[in-house]
Chain A
Amino acid sequence: MSITPILHLVTCGSVDDGKSTLIGRLLAETDSVPIDQLEYARRTRRGGSTIPVGEIDYSLLTDGLEAEREQGITIDVAYRHMNLPNGRRVLIADSPGHEQYTRNMAVAASNGDVAILLVDAARGVRPQTHRHLTVCALMGVSTIVLAVNKMDLVGYEHATFEEIVGVVKTTAARLGINDLVAVPVSAFAGDNITRRTHAMPWYTGLSLLEFLSDWEPPARPDVEPLRFPVQYIVRAEGNFRGYAGTVVSGTLQSGQKVVVADSGRTAIVDRIVTLDGDIDTAVAGQAVTVTLDHEVDVTRGDLIAADDQDAAQPADRFSADVVWLGEEPLAHGRSYLLVSGSRSVPATVTNVRYRLDVVSGHEHAARLLEMNDVGRVEIATDKPIPLDPYTLCRDTGGFLLVDRVSADTVAAGLTRHAMRRSFNVVPHSYAVDDDARRLLMGHPSRVVWLTGLPGSGKSTIADATVGALHALGVHTYVLDGDNVRTGLNKDLGFTPEDRAENVRRVAEVAKLMKDAGLVVFVALVSPYQADRDAARSLFDEGEFIEVYVDTPVEVCSERDPKGLYAKAAAGSLPNMTGVGQGYEIPSAPDLVLRGTGSIEDSAAALVRAVLGEDQ
Chain B
Amino acid sequence: MSVAPVSVPYSAVLDALEAEALHIYRETAAAFRNPVLLYSIGKDSSVLLHLALKAFAPAPLPFPIMHIDTGWKFREMIEFRDRRAAELGLDLRIAHNREAIEQGVTPFTHGTHEYTRLMKTVALREGIDRYGFDAAIGGARRDEERSRAKERIFSLREPGHRWDPRKQRPEFWRTANTTLAPGQTMRVFPLSNWTELDVWRYIQRENIPIPELYFAKPRPVVERDGVLICVDDDRFPLAQGEQVHMRSVRFRTLGCYPLSGATESTADNLVDLIAEMEESNISERAGRLIDGEGGGSMEAKKQEGYF
Contacts and interface: CB of A to CB of B under 8 A. Distances in A.
Contacts of A234: 56-59
A407 B170 contact: no
B8 A5 contact: yes
B245 interface: no
B45 interface: no
Contact of A398 (B6, B168, B175, B299): B175
B83 interface: no
Contacts, number: 205
Contacts of A206: 3
12 contacts: A5-B15, A63-B146, A64-B150, A65-B165, A66-B147, A81-B195, A214-B6, A273-B57, A289-B57, A342-B30, A400-B177, A409-B177
A285 B296 contact: no
Given A87-B7, A395-B175, A37 B146 contact: yes
A204 B1 CA distance: 9
Nearest to B58: A236
Interface string A87-119: 111010000000000010011001100000000
Given A66-B296, A81-B193, A232-B29, A341 B282 contact: no
Contact of A339 (B142, B166, B177, B281): B177
A530 interface: yes
Interface of B: 1, 3-4, 6-10, 12-13, 15-20, 22-23, 26-27, 29-31, 33, 53-60, 142-143, 146-147, 149-150, 165-175, 177, 179-182, 184, 192-193, 195, 281-283, 286, 295-296, 299-300, 303
B302 to A, nearest CB: 10
Contacts of A216: 6
A286 interface: yes
Nearest to B27: A231
Interface stretch (A70-78, A305-313, A374-382, A602-610): A70-78
Contacts of B10: 87
Contacts of B22: 244, 246, 287
Interface string A238-273: 001010111010000000000000000000000001
Contact of B13 (A64, A87, A111): A87
B142 to A, nearest CB: 5
Contacts of B166: 73
A587 interface: yes
Interface of A: 3-6, 31, 34-37, 63-68, 71, 73, 75-81, 84, 86-89, 91, 103, 106-107, 110-111, 204, 206, 210, 213-216, 231-232, 234-237, 240, 242, 244-246, 248, 273-276, 285-287, 289, 300, 325, 337, 339-342, 344, 394-395, 398-400, 402, 405-409, 412, 529-530, 584, 587-588
A179 to B, nearest CB: 16
A89 B168 CA distance: 26
Contacts of B174: 246, 248, 341, 395
Contacts of A285: 16, 19
A79 B193 contact: yes
A86 B173 contact: no
Nearest to A86: B7
Ordered nearest first, which 6 A-B pairs have the shortest CB separation? Answer: A66-B296, A287-B22, A87-B8, A5-B12, A275-B57, A236-B59
A3 B195 CA distance: 21
A332 to B, nearest CB: 22
Nearest to B4: A214
